[in-house]
Amino acid sequence: MTAYTPEEIGQKRLVRGSLPGEPVPYYVASGDGMAFETAGQLWTVIARAVDTGDDFDAAYITGRRGAESPLHAIPSAHRTFVVLDGRVQIWLGAAAGEDAAIESRILSRGDSVVVPEGVLFGYRMRAEASRLFLFSAPGGTLDDLLASGRGTSSHIYSPQAGSDSLILPANATRLALPDTDPRDAADDRLPEGCEPYVLRSLEGEHRAWPDALNSYVSRARNTDGRYFSVDTLAAPQPYIIRHFHRQHTENFLCLSGRVWLWVNGEEVLLTEGDFLHAPAGTIHSFAIAGHNTRMLGFLTTGIFEPFFDVTSQHTDDKVYTEGLVNPSVIFEGIKGNPDLDLEVVGPPPERVFAPGL
């Protein structure tokens, strides 16, 4: 694996439509990546350890009603699953081998579940074409799947039900899914530490920006410092200042609407399901181009988390209020906190590609 300095990354062209095989900026559209069929599901890998400098893996999981994962625990990875489509029943417990109750929930679009290493977890699709997004840190969780020989050129799961078992890491604990009724719970708070939890769509800890709301799906304290994630709901707004980060990686997943990204001088449009990886050193900016656009960010490590606290205002609202927050809050927060991993390199870029879209 080639290691680049932040200065070298800032000179790299954006790789489009494929996994690069080295930790450089890249973009994959919804449905692109490396696809594998396992247990009646299509796993589309969009990030491998080799693409992210061992920071994380990521994949989409699509399946028919009834497709499932056994109850299992992985000893060396912290994972987040986000429901993108359909309905998914999940089972979540304590560490493997501990005598603790396994709880179950029915999750729908936008709901998420955070699974620390060694914690029992399983799922079953409850609607046809249900779709999950998986983020797993550090990288390597998907290595057994990648080496399985189950690769396919398909972009949807097979019409016939699969009879094979789900491919999991060799060191994973496997148990049958228990007969547990799902519980209807608020699931609207982040825990104080690194423990398993479910979070409903647009819940969490909310920070108000001008014409935007950032909701923490996880803080660094919830992932043992490996990453944190922010769900941004926003109105149309122009590009922000061009900048880069020297010590952390930023990853953008468009959940709905339209997001323009400017990456090392190139523009790319993200629509629903598109993903972009920006390793440390990537000079970038983003703009929102659709009302009620929703973007999920995963950042490794947790070093940049204070940025969202000092550049915004706390709110208990679950959606943004248009024009509520004075933009000076952002700039004053940046000026007052020089130790943020943020290096500004210029003013916002101009929209060049498809300016009317």
> Is the pLDDT reported for residue 99 higher than 60?
no
Residue 317 has a pLDDT of 94
Q: Give this prediction's pTM.
A: 0.95
> Is the pLDDT reported for residue 97 higher than 70?
no
Tokens of 186: 């608020």
On average, the pLDDT of the chain sits at 94
Class of 31-199 in CATH: mainly beta
> Is the pLDDT reported for residue 96 higher than 60?
no
We find that the CATH architecture of domain 205-346 is Sandwich (2.60)
pLDDT band of 150, cuts 50, 70, 90: very high
Distances from the Cα of 1 to the Cαs of 54, 275, 277, 314, in angstroms? 10, 22, 17, 41
Average pLDDT over residues 141-157: 95
CA proximity to 21, closest of 56, 45, 49: 49
Residue 24 has a pLDDT of 98
Give every CB contact of residue 230 below 8 A, 6+ residues apart in sequence: 214, 215, 216, 217, 296, 297, 299, 308
Contact 254, 286 (CB under 8 A): no
> Is the pLDDT reported for residue 84 higher than 80?
yes
Contact 217, 297 (CB under 8 A): no
Residue in the structure block whose two tokens are 């339209």: 258
φ/ψ of 189, rounded to 5, equals -130, 145
> Is the pLDDT reported for residue 206 higher than 60?
yes
328 vs 331: CA distance, rounded Å: 5
111 vs 107: CA distance, rounded Å: 6
Judged by average pLDDT, the poorest of 58-62, 218-222, 312-316 is 312-316
> Is the pLDDT reported for residue 355 higher than 90?
no
Instruction: Give me the residue spans of the domains in the chain.
Output: 31-199, 205-346
Are 31-199 and 205-346 equal in CATH topology?
yes
Average pLDDT over residues 210-224: 96
CA proximity to 213, closest of 316, 320, 92: 320
